[in-house]
Each structure stands twice: as C-alpha cells, then as structure tokens.
Amino acid sequence: MGDKTDVWQGTLALMVMKTLETMGPQHGYGIARRIEQTSGNLLALNYGTLYPALLKLEQEGAIVSEWGVSDNNRKAKFYRLTRVGRKQLEQEARSWEQAAAIVARFLSPAEEG
Amino acid sequence: MNSLMHSLARRLRALRIRLRGLFGARPANDEIAAELESHLQMHIDDNLRAGMTPQEARRQALIRLGGVEQTQQAVRERSTLPWAETLGQDLRFALRQLRKSPGFTTVVIVTLALGIGVNTALFSIVNTVLLHPIALPHPDELVTVSASKPNFATGSISYPNFRDWQRDNRSLSALAIYRHTGFILTGTGESERIHGEYVSSGIFSVLGVKPRLGRLFAPGEDEIGRAPVVMIGEGFWARKFGSDPNIIGRPLTLDSRDFTIIGVIPAAFDLNFYSFRAEDAYVPIGQWPTGALKIRAAGLGIHGIARLKPGVTLAQAQADMNSVSDHLAAVYPEDDHSIRARLDPLRSAVVGDVQPVLLVLLAAVGFVLLIACVNVANLLLARSSARSQEFAVRLALGASRQRIIRQLLTESTLLALAGGALGLLLAGLGTRSALKLVPAALPRTSQIHLSPLVLCFTFLISFLVGILFGLLPAWKVAAQQPQNTLREGGRGVRGTRHRAQDWLVIFEMAAALVLLAGAGLMIRSLVALSRTDPGFQPKGILTFSLAVPNSPAISTEDGARAYLREIDRQIKSVPGVHAASLTWAAVPMTGDDDEELFWLPNEPKPASIMDMHWALRYIVEPDYLNVFEIPLLRGRFLTDADGVNSPPVVVVDQDFAHRFFGDANPVGQTLNLTDPDHKSTIVGEVGHVMQWGLDNDAGFSLRADTYLSLVQQSQGGLSSQNGFVSDIVVRADHPDSVFPDIQSAMRRMNAQQVAYGPKTMDQFIADSLATRRFSMWLLGAFAALALLLASVGLFGVISYLVGQRTQEMAIRMALGADRGKVLRWVLTRGAALAGIGVGAGTVAALLVTRLMASISVEKSSIIYGVHPWDPLTMIGVVVVLMCVALIACYVPARRAASVDPMQALRSE
C-alpha cells in the first residue's frame, strides 16, 4: 500500500491546492466535488481519503482551516491556501508538468530524425 | 537543492505537529466527527436536490465517503505518530505488568545488574590496563632496550655500549637510558632520602613528555664531566617548594652536591616499567659518581628506552640493532662478544604478565554475564508460559502476533535497561573495591575509572540482552495456537517449554561448576604457596635502607669499618631487635639481585666474563644467618674472625654445592672469585634460600647462592667520597612497629644519615603474590556469584514446575500419596537437573583448568603446587554445588508437599 498511497496522495495534494488556488477558500466537500468535475467525472474519488490529505497539507503549513458557513447555511470547515502553499503548488505543478512532458515524449510517435 | 530544503522543512514541521499530537495536542475526535458530519449533510442535501429519497441520499453519501469510522481513523493516524503511540501503550502496559509481579521484576533486574555490573567493572580495569596502558604520544613506537647476555635475556646496558648503539643505529629516532637511584637531600628541612633516576638527555623527548616548567635536558648535557643539573617531579616541587614558579635556576643539594634545577616534569607523567618510575628527581647519567660508568663490560643496572622511526617495524629495528651489536662484538671481542641489543615493545613491559590473568578474569566474568542472561531468559520463559492464557485470549480477540511479540520485547528491554542502570551503579562500586585488590604492578591503576566507552559497553550489553531474551519467549508465543492453549486451561505448550528451561538450568549449573573449579584451584594454589618453605623464616624480618652521607669519620678504611660496627651496635640496642646485619648485594624476595662471577679450582681462567660461572651473591655480616634463620648444613657460617687480614672465605648453599661439586663435600674447596680476582675458600654450606619468589624460584637458571663477608669484600672500597647506602635486615619481635625506634637510633647516631624504606619480609612475599591474590579474589567472587545465579535459576524452574503440577500433586495426595513422596519427587527432579549440569560442567572444567595451568605469571603457572585435575578440589566443588542446588529445590518442594489437596482442586 505504501508506495501507491504516496503517489496518489501527492497527486491528490496537488489537485487540492490547485482547486483552492482557483476557487479560493473552500470546504472539504466542495473541494471533492470540484476535483470530480474538473476531471470530467473520470476520477471516482473516495471522499474519505481527502481528509487525511487535507490534514497533511495543514501540518505542512500549505493550507489553514477555520469554521464558517456554507452557501446552504451549513456549518463547515473552510480551507485556504497560504503563501507557503502557493509556492509549493508552483513548484509541484512545474515538476509535474515536466514529468508529464517527458512521459508524453515517450508515448507520442517519434518525429525527430 | 532549494526545493529539497523546502520539502525537508515542510516534513519537519509536519513531524513536529504530529509529535505534539502524540501528547494530546491534536484535533479533538468530535471536531473530526463534526467536519465529516457537515460533509455528509452537504452531500445529502445535493443528493436530495437530485431527487433521491432521504434514505437513498444518506446511503449514497456514506458509500462515497467510505465509512465515517474508517475515515476518522485515517485522520487520527495522520494527526499523530502511530508507531510511537503504540510504543507508549506498550511501555505503560509493560510497567503495569512488571509492577504486578514485583518478585519476578526484582530478581530479573538484580540478576542483570550483577552480571552487567561486574562485567563493566572488570572491563573498566581492562580498558585502562590492557587497552590504554601508556598515556604517551604514539605508544606503539616505544620499545625497551636491553643487553641480552648469558643468564640475562634483558640485562643491563653499559654506558660505552649505549653511546655506540646511539651512534650506529639507523632505525631508532631516539635512544635513551635510565638507572634507578636514590639521593640524600639536604638543605631543605630535615635530611631526607628521595628517589631518583639517572637518565640520558633524550629520555623525555623519546617519551614525548613536555616540561611543566623550565626546560628538558639539552643534548650533550648528560656526558661525563658536565655541569650538574636536575629536573624535579611536579609532586616533589609541590611538597618541597610549594610549587614556587621561581624555582628554575635554584640549587638542590643531593648527596652533598649542588645541582641546578632546570625544569619540572608534570605529575601526569606516571610511566612505570621494569626499574623505571616517575620520580622526585632526574639527574643526567654523566653525573653518576662511579668509575665503572666508563667500563664497557660493566653491569650497572642501566636499561634503555627508544622510539622507532615512523614506519619502521620492531623486526626491522631488531635486525638493525643486531648488525650494530655484531659490529661492536668484532671491535670489542673481549667485552661484547656475546652482548646483543634487544628490543621489546614497551607495552609488554608495562602490562607485563598481567595480560593473561586479566584475560582469564574477563573470560570468567563473561561466563557470569552469560549465566545472568540465561537466568533472565529462564525467568522470562517461565513467566511467559504462565501468561500463555493471557496471550491466547488476546490473540483470540484479534490482537496480531506482531503486536504481542512487540509487547514482550518492550517488557524485556525495559527490564534490561533497568538492570543496566543498576548495573552501572554496581560497576562504580565494584571498580572501586576491585581497585583495592589490584596489585601495585598494574599500570595506570590510578587512572582507572568508568569511561564513556564502558558506559556504552554496558548499555549495549543490556540492550542486546533485552532483545535476545525477549525474543525467546516471544517466539514461543508466536508459534502458539490460541485454541489449544485455551483448551488446556492455560497450562501452555508444556513439553517443549520445559525442555528449554531444563537445558538452560543445566547450562547454568555447568558454567557455575567451571568457575567454582577455577576459583578452587586458585585458592589451593595460594594455600600451597603459603606452605612453601622459602629456605628461611620470613616472619619477624624487617628490611630497610640506610643512607650515610660523606663525612671525615668514614673517609678512611678503619673509620668506615668502625662506623659500620657502630651501626650494628646501635640497631641491636633497640628493644625487641634480636639480630641485625648490613647486606650489600642481593636480598631474597625483594627484587634486588647481584651476581658473583667465578671459575672452579680445576678450570683455567675463562677468556671472557661471559664464559664464567654465575651465582647469586649476598654480601653480609655474620649475624645474617640469625636474621634469616637459614639452616647450617656443613662447616660454619661467616664469623667476626673473618677479618680484613684473614684469608677470604665464602659460604655456599645446597644448590651451589650440588651443582658444582655433586655429592662431594664443598667445604675446603677453593673458588676463583672476580672483582678483583682472588681465591676464596668455602667454609660452610647452608640450606637453599629462594631469591626470586615462592612460586617461581625453580624457573630461574640462576639460583645458586654464595655468601661473602662484608668486611672482607669491602677491602679498599669501603671509604667513599659520596657516603654510601646499605640495606639492613633485622630480626625483631614486632617487625611492623619497630622501625621508628630504629630510625631515631640512627638519627641520634648521626643527624645527617637517613634510615628509610621499611618493609617486612612478609610484605615482600605478599606483594610477590599480589597478582595471584587479586585473581583469586575476583575469580572467587565471580564463582560465588555464578553459584548464586545458578541456584536462583534452579529455584525458578523448580518453583515453576511445582506451580504447574499443583493440581496433579493435589490429586495424588487426595488419592493417598504421602507428603514425603511428593517432596522426594520434586527434589529428585531438581537433583537430576543439577546432576546433569554437574556432569557436563566437570568435563568442561577439566578442559578449562588444563588451559589455566598453561597460563603463567612471572615464570610460574597460575595454578601452583596442585594438579589442574586435583580430585579434592573437584569433589569439593561438586559437593558445594549439589548442596546449594538441593537447598534451592527444597523451598519449592516444601511448598509442593504442604499443598492442601482440597483447596488446590477447588481452585480449578
């Protein structure tokens, strides 16, 4: 389980941070729905895995949380990206793009001669 | 790089928060629950809006979340460190468990503490004495240098040879010599005798010693005829001059001559080997007022020390010195033809013969630790089997095997660490008390202390013990099938576990027997030695020295002789003194030896002194025979009639007579003595006196004794420009307490002369056996400890056995078996275990004692005067062991026999 979770959690963390960057402060449920929508419903997210990932980001200082009220007047815990989080997002997005580009080059038909 | 730092910082921050979480600072459970609840509600709201029924909406929301409990658990685990949390639980549980059985806990901790404590104490001694015996820079480059010649493998070096060796060698970065001596110090308070060394200039630079104050001797300052200078020890500087920093350049009056103080040697310099000691005063060798210094063949007790050039091996240096010696033998055939420079590592001179003894003791103490560990393993085994039902229940309730093993490991590690801590305390005490027994010959004993290295050693041992012996029962538990155990009513997997415990007890008994046998033989050896007849009566003999400064009274031959007679008269007039004699050469048992070179009447004069016969030489007065109470066998001893003008006479011992004259009567034969050459008639034969020591006299080739008259010997050499120093032996009623009276008598006779260094012959003999006594005490203590631990082990096993069989015995008794039978059954069981252990131990002991017999201290085996397979010792040891074993069994056996059958059966 160990390796897979790490990779998965790493990716999940990236998605969470990107979501918070675009949407501003958001609660867990909102983040989960947004990730699903953004993925074009291709990603069947187990909502339960989101919460340890949020806690990890909070412990690392990338996000902070506080209780607030949702659009439907429900009490909910809202998460917000910090400056540290923004920097981290920038870094991780860059390295993810790099990795994706490299893999893409391997998968796309060879053109260079 | 930068991103790596960032990610590291992030991780550290997370770890800090999780660590805080370990101690309670974490989101409360209800906060997590509230967040999840709000999540569910929002999801349900959405689902309702999508047209689901309320039940379906809730069900779908729960499915997508993946369970509230599981999610909560996942968050909780993230909020703290799960492994650390379990460790904390394990520790708390272990503490509770150990508190619940204080008897078990105490026995285990004390057992471990004893094992670890004595180990650490001995390791501290070994660490200093064997591993770091020399506190000087690059000690491995240092070698002792001696002249090997017939009769003396490590003989003394003559001054001319030293100079030539120094000049000719190519493998030594420096070579220096030293000669122990004493001086009479005057001019600073009451006149006093101090210890000193004559040294060559390079000695302190060879050793790498820097002066505390002032400077070292300059090259060439040690040559004959140079200005008299002196370096003093820091202790002497403090004692005599109150550490006066302006001491440099001031005079010090030694033997009535003024020496200029040029430097102070630091107190930390504590080198001690052969005859070299860190002393009060160091004087250049060229200042030694003896004409013999320039004689190439002279044996003046000068020895050398050198430092090998970097990268040069001992063998290469020895080969170099051999060619240097060969060259000198060709140039000076008469003096040097059988003299070779010999190099030995300084380490072996400093550590000496103690090494094998300490290694034996280390092996013994290792055995003790092994027994202690086995004991602990045994107790843990017994305990874990008594708790097998507890484990079975926990396994059945879903605890993982891993978790239970971890629990057991935590418990045993906790025990081991507690034992280690207590052991360290014992080690501190043990080291201090062992130091009281340590023979003075051991190097650097004052430096022995518990070092950080030893501390690590202790904790490593205790940790390993914990892991190792926690694993044994843990392994048993892991192999256990809970349903079987539960069905058995908690009596555990009996068969195999019994066997393991039995083997452990057998091993303990065997190991204890080996140690007891070793200790027994050491005790027997000392008893045998105390019964050895040295050839004289040591009880009642006091030896001391008298230093007489130069004065007009002794400047003539007659005056000096009269002075000696007056010394005798004054000493004999002290109440309680029965006999007294000055003695000038060898003194038995004291380490002072001197040799007579001679040839027999029917032999031509040998070309070289190396080809002459050698015998020990005692230059004494007639009363010597009464002081030592040596039996006179033939003829007569020296008398007052053997004066300067009467023919020279010599008395020989039995050994001499037998060696040179066979069964013939030596009395009346003539010997050709040397120094100077003259004929001397043998007038008597006395019993052999052991010169070297009780245990090793037979190991020396040089053991024939000759006695010469002091008055005749001193012919022409009695008067001296520098006064003289003489050893004096007296027979007194109370040799321990008579010295102050003698001292004041000597002072009354001449305020300038100093009587010093009193030591009884008994003390000399005791000192010569110090290494033996040290190893006997330690080995005895270890053996007693081993016996105690082994019987605790046996007691534990038998108690466990009795506990397991209580019901069975109750049934037997209910059915009519009498209590005596039960008692016998238990005792037989214990005796059988002990018996097998004793059998195995006896075989092992026979091998080990054989090995011990091959280890020797100063030319004699550490097992002396008793066969390594001495049946009396073996039988005695076996009887002791069996008795203790039976006592250890008797207590639980009594308990078994006094079981009330009805009560035992009802408790099921």
Taking CA atoms, what residue in B is nearest to A78?
A: B35
Distance CA B526, CA B773 (A): 7
Whole-number pLDDT of residue B492: 42
Query: Per DSSP, what are the bridge partners of residue A81?
Result: A63
B452 located within any domain: yes
- pLDDT in the model for residue B633: 95
pLDDT value of position B901: 75
Residue A87's domain comprises 2-106
Confidence of residue B561 (pLDDT cuts 50, 70, 90): confident
Do B378 and B457 lie in one domain? The reply is yes
C-alpha B771 chain-centroid distance: 8
Q: What is the reported pLDDT for B682?
A: 95
Verify that B183 and B322 share a domain, yes or no.
yes
Question: For residue A41, is it within any domain?
Answer: yes
Share of chain B above pLDDT 70, in %: 92
Which pLDDT value is given to residue A111? Answer: 54
Binning pLDDT at 50, 70 and 90, where does residue B721 land? low
Same domain (yes/no): B827, B691? no
Whether pLDDT at B473 is above 60: yes
Q: Is A13 part of any domain?
A: yes
CB–CB of A60 and B18 under 8 A? no
CA pair distance B249, B260, nearest whole angstrom: 6
Question: Are residues B374 and B443 both part of a single domain?
Answer: yes
| B888 lies in some domain | yes
Q: Are A52 and B80 in contact (CB under 8 A)?
A: no
What average pLDDT does range B704-712 have in this prediction? Answer: 91
Task: Tell me whether residue A38 is in a domain.
Answer: yes
Whose tokens are 């160990």? That residue is A2
**Mean pLDDT in residue range B275-286:** 89
User: Considering only A6-15, B419-428, B644-653, which range has the smallest mean pLDDT?
Assistant: A6-15
Q: Which two tokens stand for residue B696?
A: 């090793």
Q: What type of residue sits at position B620?
A: V
CA distance B145 to B161: 12
Q: Indicate if the pLDDT at residue B270 is higher than 90.
A: no
Query: Which member of A28, A60, A95 has the closest CB to residue B13?
Result: A60
Residues B795 and B888 in one domain: yes
Domain end (from B288, B303, B337): B337
d(Cα A103, Cα A93) in Å, to the nearest integer?
15
Number of domains in chain B: 5
Mean pLDDT of B807-817: 80
Q: How many domains does chain A have?
A: 1
Task: Please name the residues in contact with B820: beta carbons below 8 A apart, sequence gap of 6 or more.
Answer: B897
User: Which conformational region is residue B859 in: left (phi greater than 0), alpha (psi within -120 to 50 degrees), or beta?
Assistant: left
Joined tokens for residue B389:
């039902």
Q: Inter-chain contact A52–B75, Cβ cutoff 8 Å?
A: yes
Comparing B202-211, B222-231, B714-723, the range with the smallest average pLDDT is B714-723
Q: What is the model's pLDDT at position B2?
A: 64
Question: Any residues with CB less than 8 A from the CB of B665 and at least 6 apart, and which?
Answer: B634
Task: Please give the biggest Cα pair distance in chain A.
Answer: 62
> From residue B758, how far is each of B213, B254, B691, B742, B743 by CA, in Å?
33, 21, 19, 10, 10
Interface check for B643 against chain A (CB to CB < 8 A): the answer is: no
Q: What is the per-residue pLDDT across B76-100, written as a single tens digit (0 to 9) for each?
A: 777 777 777 778 888 888 888 888 8
Residue B595 pairs with which residues in a beta bridge? B616
Task: Flag whether pLDDT at B215 surpasses 70.
Answer: yes
Task: Identify from B12, B42, B45 which residue to disrupt to test chain A contact, counting A C-beta atoms within 10 A and taking the largest count.
Answer: B42
- Residues of chain B with Cβ-Cβ distance to A55 below 8 Å are 27, 75, 78-79
Q: Average per-residue pLDDT in chain B? A: 85
CB contact under 8 A, B38 and A72: no
Is residue A111 one of the residues assigned to a domain? no
Percent of chain B with pLDDT strictly greater than 90: 35
Residues 7-46 of chain A with CB under 8 A from chain B are: 27-30, 33, 46
- Looking at the fold, whether B103 and B251 belong to one and the same domain comes out as no
What phi and psi, each to the nearest 5 degrees, are found at residue B128?
-75, -50
Does pLDDT of B373 surpass 60? yes
The answer to whether residue A113 sits within a structural domain is no
Question: Residue B345 domain-assigned?
Answer: no
Residue B227 lies in a domain: yes
Residues B518 and B562 in one domain: no
Q: Which residues of A touch B18 (CB under 8 A)?
A: 59
* C-alpha Rg value of chain B to the nearest Å: 39
The answer to whether residues B842 and B725 belong to one domain is no
More confident residue, B184 or B250: B250
Do the beta carbons of residue B308 and residue B143 sit within 8 Å?
yes
Given a cut of 50, whether residue B784 has pLDDT beyond it is yes
* Per-residue pLDDT band at B907 (split at 50, 70, 90): low
* CATH number, residue A80: 1.10.10.10
Read off the pLDDT of residues B659-706 as tens digits, 9 standing for 90 and up. Answer: 999 989 999 999 999 877 889 999 999 999 999 888 888 878 888 999
pLDDT one-digit tens code per residue, B645-656:
899 999 999 999
The tens digit of pLDDT for each residue in B316-357 reads 999 999 999 999 999 998 888 889 999 999 988 888 777 788
Is residue B145 one of the residues assigned to a domain? no
Is the per-residue pLDDT at A4 higher than 50?
no
In this structure, the answer to whether residues B744 and B713 fall within a common structural domain is yes
Is-contact B639 B670, C-beta < 8 A? no
For the ranges B16-20, B286-290, B442-446, B491-495, the one whose mean pLDDT is highest:
B286-290
Asked if the Cβ–Cβ distance from A59 to B32 is below 8 Å, we say no
CA distance B262 to B269: 17
Is residue A112 domain-resident? no
Q: Are residues B606 and B714 in the same domain?
A: yes
Chain A residue nearest residue B79, CA to CA: A55
* Predicted confidence (pLDDT) at residue B495 exceeds the cutoff of 50: no
Residues B465 and B503 in one domain: no
Q: How confident is the model at residue A5 (pLDDT cuts 50, 70, 90)?
A: very low
Q: Residues B739, B797: one domain?
A: no
The answer to the question of residue B200 being in a domain is: yes
User: Distance between the two ends of chain A, CA-based, in angstroms?
Assistant: 42
DSSP state of B896: H
Q: Indicate if the pLDDT at residue B568 is higher than 90.
A: yes
Among B283, B313, B337, where does a domain finish? B337
Residue B346 within any structural domain of the chain: no
Chain B residues touching residue A72 (CB < 8 angstroms): 42, 45
pLDDT digits (tens, 9 = 90+) for B592-647: 888 888 999 888 988 777 788 989 999 999 999 999 999 999 999 999 999 888 99
| Over residues A75-80, mean pLDDT | 92
Q: Is the pLDDT of residue B260 over 90?
A: yes
Written as six digits, the tokens of B193 are 């005798």
Q: What is the C-alpha separation between B882 and B887, in angstroms, rounded? A: 9
User: B295, B311, B337: which is the final residue of a domain?
Assistant: B337
Q: B176: domain range? A: 151-337
Band (B497; pLDDT cuts 50, 70, 90): low
3-state secondary structure of B357: helix
What pLDDT, on a 0 to 100 scale, did the predictor assign at position A3? 34
Confidence (pLDDT) at B28: 67
- What residues in B contact A17, CB-CB < 8 Å? none
pLDDT of residue B478: 66
The residues, any chain, with a CB within 8 Å of residue B858's CB and separated by 6 or more, are B353, B693, B695, B696, B771
- pLDDT at res. B216: 95
Binned at pLDDT 50, 70 and 90, residue A1 comes out as: very low
Q: Is the dihedral of CA B743, B746, B748, B754 positive or negative?
A: negative
Greatest mean pLDDT among A34-48, A87-101, B379-393, B676-690 lies in B676-690
DSSP track, A28-95: HHHHHHHHHHHTTT-----GGGHHHHHHHHHHHTSEEEEEEE-TTS-EEEEEEE-HHHHHHHHHHHHH
* pLDDT at residue B234 tops 80: yes
Contacts of B33 in chain A (CB under 8 A): none
